[in-house]
Structure 1
Amino acid sequence: MTENTRNTTVVVTGASGRTGSRVARSAQAAGLTVRPASRAHGFDWQGRSTWAKVLRGADAAYLVYPSDIGAPGAAEAVGALAREAVGAGVRRLVLLSSRGQDRARDAEEALHASGADWTVVRAAWFAQNFSEGPLVEELRLRGELVFPAGEVREPFVDVRDIGDVVVAALSAGDRYVGETIAVSGPRLLSFGEAVAEIAKATGRELSYRAVSPRAYGENLLGFGVPAREVEALVEAFAQLLDGRNAYLSQGVREVLGREPRDFAQFARQAAATGTWTE
């Protein structure tokens, strides 16, 4: 794909999800044609018969595996979809991965081996995990976040920055082919400090309570999350929240030439829409 994005069609998996929706918006703003790939549009990561139709005639694709990039079966699915994409003439692929997660490397290697012109974007913990998904309900309804992060500090990344980096990589010809781009926010915060930022933005009293990954997994089982998925998440939390990710990555600055969005900005904007208001 050249730097001229006119008539370029990009398949966006998870197009209605946390990152896919931002990739789709950023791609449209850049003049690319977005082909959403989600169950609502007839695409299913677990249904290989649904892949050919969404790939046909496309120029590039953004791959985000549902639930977690280190989940059981993720590497096999990523590799299979990447190979089918290459076979259909869609060689330019960008995969969303995770910083510091050992199991994520299997999916990355599967992408590398597919023959694609690949780029991997390794992301820090999403700022939007606090505003979209189960964490927001705890804060909104209970005024407390219970999570297995201890006092570990994390450079929370705004998913809008992920979307912009993905599209910049897709639009830059061969510049980022074969590269891994790590992205984070501009500063380190503990989960307690992040909740304090949200409290400041909302004017509410909010608190954070740390629990062990295993205790958190038991809570997920109680909510009906499948045991295999819980096991993978507990392992991922134990890895990602052990302090290994308490550093900044420069991918946003290097690719976009600007500072990444700060968590306080995210919190103010999300609070303004009533995200954490009862």
Structure 2
Amino acid sequence: MQKILILGGTGKTGRRLARRLEAAGRPVRTASRTGGNTPFDLAAPATWAPALDGVTAAYVVEPSLQAGGGRIPAFVAEAVAAGVRRLVLLSAGGVGAADDSHPLKAAEEAVRASGADWTILRPDWFAQNFSEGPWLPSILAGTVSLPAGDGRTPFIDADDIAAVAAAALTEDRHSGRTYQLTGPRAIGFGEAADLIGQATGRPVRYVDIAPETHVARQLAAGVPLEVARLFTGIFAAIRDGSAPEPADGVERALGRPARPFEDYVSETAASGVWD
């Protein structure tokens, strides 16, 4: 039976993927700088070979767009040389239309040209950003300030991403496929805030801010200018109505619809993370 390596094995999708595979009896190695069962750092190539030892399939994640686009191609080359025969790459929505400056463009090209079986996942904004990521402090404070205007986007549940990744790592039929992963409908940040507020029983509001204000706040938080502009540009796409439409990637991969945002909100509110 294949041994599966999960980069970012303690992250939003990685830990969910590990749970699924382990429950199915698959040998799993979770690779992470902290918390995984194998020490691993994309910035430290000396950690790659031990993580790849005996592995035949890998879930590949670039945890930091600030690192540029060279780390994943180098890792993919070493992985295939070490015997990995199946690669599943966590990319991002919009990479297909992006120019070559996007850090994940080179990662996608490297996976396709690797000679291994490959699947590329392009998820939209994670619903879990409201509960496990950058927007959680804002939810707890009661105000989410972002430059998305009244635009709408189809938030994807990280559990759905993990389910598609598990299928792609263990089933032959996903080889050579690129899946655009979104939720079943697009919603605005105002509606998302309202749904969370209703589920928690306390006010949560969304405030639109100017894109240049968002860039300035990112810079003040230590984010490099290029990355701050990249993420602000994604919000701007939502703002001007050019965010992705709901896609059928989850249904194509799993034979069922993507999970609604409302289900994510209900389950997360019950967990107490927003209390």
Q: TM-score of the superposition, structure 2-length normalised?
A: 0.91
2:44 partner letter: G
Question: How far apart in 1 are the matches of 2:242 and 2:23?
Answer: 35
Following TM superposition, by how much is the alpha carbon of 1:177 offset from its aligned partner in structure 2, in angstroms?
1.3
Question: How far apart in 1 are the matches of 2:240 and 2:54?
Answer: 44
Deviations 1:63-91 (A, max 9, x none): 111134xx5523x1111111111000002
Question: How far apart in 2 are the matches of 1:152 and 1:238?
Answer: 9
- The SS at the match of 1:134 is coil
Please name the residue that 1:23 is paired with: 17
Would you say 1:128 and 2:128 are equivalent positions?
Answer: yes
Deviates more, 1:59-68 or 1:161-170: 59-68
Please name the residue that 2:142 is paired with: 143
Gap change, CA 1:15 and 1:143, over 3 Å in 2? same
Following TM superposition, by how much is the alpha carbon of 1:154 offset from its aligned partner in structure 2, in angstroms?
0.8
Please name the residue that 1:218 is paired with: 216
Matching residue within 4, 20, 28 for 1:34 = 28
Please name the residue that 2:164 is paired with: 165
Would you say 1:56 and 2:53 are equivalent positions?
Answer: yes
Following TM superposition, by how much is the alpha carbon of 1:227 offset from its aligned partner in structure 2, in angstroms?
4.2
Question: How far apart in 1 are the matches of 2:150 and 2:238?
Answer: 13
Counterparts of 1:1-278 in structure 2, within 5 Å, are: 7-40=1-34, 41-68=38-65, 71-74=66-69, 76-101=70-95, 102=98, 103=102, 104-140=104-140, 142-173=141-172, 175-239=173-237, 242-277=240-275
Question: How far apart in 2 are the matches of 1:196 and 1:20?
Answer: 29
Is the CA contact (8 Å cut-off) linking 1:124 and 1:245 kept in structure 2?
Answer: no
Q: TM-score of the superposition, structure 1-length normalised?
A: 0.90
Following TM superposition, by how much is the alpha carbon of 1:116 offset from its aligned partner in structure 2, in angstroms?
2.3
Identity %: 44
Is the CA contact (8 Å cut-off) linking 2:149 and 2:238 kept in structure 1?
Answer: no
Is the CA contact (8 Å cut-off) linking 2:150 and 2:239 kept in structure 1?
Answer: no
- The SS at the match of 1:209 is strand
Deviates more, 1:229-238 or 1:200-209: 229-238
Following TM superposition, by how much is the alpha carbon of 1:121 offset from its aligned partner in structure 2, in angstroms?
0.7
Question: How far apart in 1 are the matches of 2:14 and 2:79?
Answer: 18
Gap change, CA 1:90 and 1:37, over 3 Å in 2? same
How many residues are aligned here? 266
Deviations 1:192-242 (A, max 9, x none): 111111111111111001113331121122223344543443344445654
Is the CA contact (8 Å cut-off) linking 2:147 and 2:232 kept in structure 1?
Answer: no
- The SS at the match of 2:20 is helix
Pairwise CA RMSD of aligned residues? 1.7
